[in-house]
Structure 1
Amino acid sequence: MAKETILIVDDIAQNLQILGEVLSAQGYRVAVATNGLQAIDVAQKVKPDLILLDVMMPEMDGYESCRRMKNIPEIENIPVIFLTARNTSEDLVAGFEAGAVDFVSKPFINVELLVRVKTQVRMKHLVEELERKNIELENKAIHDDLTGLFNHGHMFERLTHCQEIGVRYGTSLSVIMFDVDHFKSVNDNWGHQVGDQVLKKVSQIIKDTVRKTDIAGRYGGEEFMVICQETTIENTYALAERIRENIAQADTGYEGLRVTISGGVAESRVGEPVEQLVNRADELLYESKNSGRNKITQ
């Protein structure tokens, strides 16, 4: 049985009762309103799956009520079926222009009404499911599957955008490159599943330590990037140090396994391609590696 909510709008109590009984018998939940203004208020509160809206009502007719609802973002996508005894071509055009998806003529035939209701409710669910899947695909396209951080491609897009903003408004931009120390030995001695857990742990610490304005991503393998907008290199270095310290002090969950990271911090230069900025941060990262690891170089 259906569990969707249908809002019925009609200024005649007998019509509300008849429609309510027909829909309730099919398992629909029913909400009611007796005029156009009340319909807008109830729709915002109830968020119905469908609205059955009478056209001829005093003070505000169905057309105007529908037009107003379509201008309210939280309810604009709720389908509206007009109930009307007026079915000339002009009436139909006016209804569709107001935002309706269908019409049911009065007096209505129960079977026809229920078929049209079922069709529009099903269409609404299909559209919502498609939107959810599109959002999932978009998120998957820009996020790293293992860590949940932004992936390599998206980080370069964001870095390019941040640099453009920095050039336009004269603001600073810095980049941190991190690499997990001795990660190969983690995989060799503990196994790749533990290695994956280490990367997740490092990612979570990075995510928890950066500010809301920072952008963190997995650059590839055991290497990570953080983009710091409107941030001096001194403050970026301080952030990198906090991340390094937090990771060095973290419990990996595996007795005898401790993890450290090395990092490099570079500030964007005027006219410098983003690839060059990343390369400079990467070179500083490897200075940290070559001088003992578990440190940040700027």
Structure 2
Amino acid sequence: MSSIKSIDNSQALILIVDDLPQNLQVLGSILRKNKYQIAVATNGQQAIDILKNISPDLILLDVMMPGIDGHEVCRRLKEQDSTREISIIFLTAKSETDDIVKGFELGAVDYITKPFNATELLARVKTHIELKKNRDVILNLIDKLEEKNRILEKLAVTDGLTRCFNHSHIIERLGNEICAACRHSDSLSVTMFDIDHFKNINDTYGHQIGDEVLVKVTDSIKDALREIDLIGRYGGEEFLVVMRKTDREGCYIASERIRKKVEALTWEHDNLHVTISGGIGTLENDDDTAASMIKRADECLYMSKEGGRNRIECGEIK
């Protein structure tokens, strides 16, 4: 079933702009009898001021007014973001082609000639009110679809459990960071973190607690990173952190701070103590790739685990 349908007139607000009280009375009477809500302005400047506080569905705008005429009011409204999309129907005693064309060129959607024919007036008003409401429905649907697309795009690059980047996306982002660092002669480092004895945690406490550990460790790492740094879940209990504008020594200091932060975490489960090990890989030349940097980080991570775990290994700091 279509979401686009005829509207209830009582929901529609129409601003009438005319300097002649009799015209305001006639138009207001016709529209109120058909359950439209009405606001009025007696000159162009008053209309502009009123529109700072209301957003009507339609404006009926007299062309010939003292001071700011209808054409100038229309031009100003179409220049403002807040009023640009409001439909304008010109009210005019003129029927010359040039005058009508000028109104359309300024952004009006229609015109009604005086004296007013109630049937014609209501038909034109109804058409443009429904067009406006249907356009609002479509724009709302577009907004919802765009939001859903943003969510889907985020899900496509996000690990479902830890809410950090997934494996493929962190690798892609690292490749981009390598290109940027080489282009600007910046430092770039990565740390591969691994939760120590994670299999034993799963075996002892169960996978639900294991998932809790993964989430809490990830959050702890995130909290210790700068806004410019990146984190992704590389494997089951492995996390890759990309540190922009950071050399080997700086990466070691930051990674050691993360290690201590995780080690200090408290847990509600008896005898559960969680630590992490880390290995560092640094951008060494323009030929480096994501794979080569991760390989060096993996080698250092292996050394860290061989050295007793709960430590950071970075190789030689030059």
Cα distance change on mapping 1:114 and 1:9 into 2, 3 Å? closer
1:275 maps to: 291
Distance in 1 (CA, whole Å) between partners of 2:271 and 2:135 is 60
1:94 maps to: 105
- Superposed CA deviations along residues 204-246 of structure 1, whole A, max 9, x for unmatched, are 1011110111111211211111111111211111111111111
Q: Secondary structure at the match of 1:266?
A: strand
* TM-score for both structures, normalised by structure 2: 0.73
Whichever residue aligns with residue 277 of structure 1, its letter is: M
1:285 maps to: 301
Cα distance change on mapping 1:117 and 1:246 into 2, 3 Å? same
Distance in 2 (CA, whole Å) between partners of 1:201 and 1:29 is 57
Gaps of 5+ in 2: 1-6
Distance in 1 (CA, whole Å) between partners of 2:234 and 2:41 is 54
Distance in 1 (CA, whole Å) between partners of 2:257 and 2:42 is 57
Distance in 2 (CA, whole Å) between partners of 1:275 and 1:37 is 67
1:83 maps to: 89
- 1:129-278, aligned counterparts within 5 Å? 129-270=144-285, 271-278=287-294
Displacement, 1:273? 1.5
* TM-score for both structures, normalised by structure 1: 0.78
Whichever residue aligns with residue 83 of structure 1, its letter is: I
Q: Secondary structure at the match of 2:241?
A: strand
Q: Secondary structure at the match of 1:147?
A: coil
- Superposed CA deviations along residues 251-275 of structure 1, whole A, max 9, x for unmatched, are 1332321111110112101121221
Contact 1:7 1:32 in 2 (8 A): no
Cα distance change on mapping 1:275 and 1:36 into 2, 3 Å? farther
2:3 maps to: none
Whichever residue aligns with residue 254 of structure 1, its letter is: H
Q: Secondary structure at the match of 1:269?
A: coil
Q: Secondary structure at the match of 1:165?
A: helix
RMSD between superposed Cα atoms in Å: 3.7
Whichever residue aligns with residue 253 of structure 1, its letter is: E
2:73 maps to: 61
Displacement, 1:296? 0.5
Gaps of 5+ in 1: 70-74
1:72 maps to: none
- Superposed CA deviations along residues 63-116 of structure 1, whole A, max 9, x for unmatched, are 4421442xxxxx59x743222247978458625xx5x8xx35446415434422
Contact 2:189 2:246 in 1 (8 A): yes
Whichever residue aligns with residue 199 of structure 1, its letter is: L
Contact 1:163 1:173 in 2 (8 A): yes
Distance in 2 (CA, whole Å) between partners of 1:142 and 1:148 is 9
- Superposed CA deviations along residues 173-203 of structure 1, whole A, max 9, x for unmatched, are 0011101111111222211111111111011
Displacement, 1:118? 2.2
- Larger C-alpha radius of gyration, 1 or 2? 2
Distance in 2 (CA, whole Å) between partners of 1:121 and 1:273 is 49
Distance in 2 (CA, whole Å) between partners of 1:135 and 1:269 is 36
% same residue: 32
